[in-house]
Every structure is written in C-alpha cells, then in structure tokens.
Homo-oligomer: A and B are copies of this chain.
Amino acid sequence: MKMDERYEQAMLYDFYGELLTEHQKEIYELFVLDDYSLGEIAQEKGISRQGVHDLIKRCNKTLEGYEEKLHLVQKFLSVKEKVHRIDELLLTSETSPEDPAIAKIRKIADEIIEEL
C-alpha cells in the first residue's frame, strides 16, 4: 500500500473512526495503525483473509463517505496549515522576541497545532 494512502486512512480514522462498530475499529486499527498484513489479522482474529479484506474496504468506503459529506478533515488541514504559516511569520517578523505578546502568540499557535 502506498504511504500516502495509509496516511489518509489514518487521518480519516482519527476523525470519523468512532462512527465504526467496535469490531470494525479493532480490525481497521490493526491494519492502518499497527501495520499488520491481511493474513496476520485473519490469523489473529480467526476470520478469512477475504473477510478481513472486505471489512477494511467497507470501512474505507464508510470513512470516505463521511468526509465527502462533512469535509472536516479538509477543513482541519487548511486551518493547521494557516497556523503553521502564522508561526513562521512570527519568526521572520521584525518584532523583538522579548515582546511578551509575541511569545504568548507562539504558545497559542503551538497549542492549536497540537489540538488539530
């Protein structure tokens, strides 16, 4: 699997994963977050490799469906990118780094990035 596909799946899971069933979550996490192969998951969970494959495909479709409707991952990425730009601009501005307001702003910007 391509890395960017895995990354996208992990991000979709991070946002919408709680809308999957417990069973789906268990298996999807093994695959997307813990990097197990289909065969390993099949063995671990006592289901067929095809069954694991179908379940993961169904989860992908479900999560992508939520994003198509809500666009929240897209929105969050856009905000995150903007906050990064603020952070960079603060470093390049002519202001004194001792200005307490600027220090506070950098702290808040870091908090936002961590939160998103």
Q: Which chain B residue shows the least CB distance to A109? A: B86
Inside 8 A of A104's CB, which chain B residues have their CB? 89
Decide if the interface of chain A is mainly helix, strand, loop or mixed.
Answer: helix
A3 within 8 A of B: no
Instruction: Give the number of copies in the complex.
Output: 2
Inside 8 A of A19's CB, which chain B residues have their CB? 66, 69-70
Known: A79-B79, A86-B108, A86-B109. A70 touches B16 (CB 8 A): yes
What are 15 A-B contacts defined by CB distance under 8 Å?
A15-B70, A19-B66, A19-B69, A75-B116, A79-B116, A82-B108, A82-B111, A83-B83, A83-B112, A86-B86, A86-B105, A86-B108, A89-B104, A95-B102, A105-B105
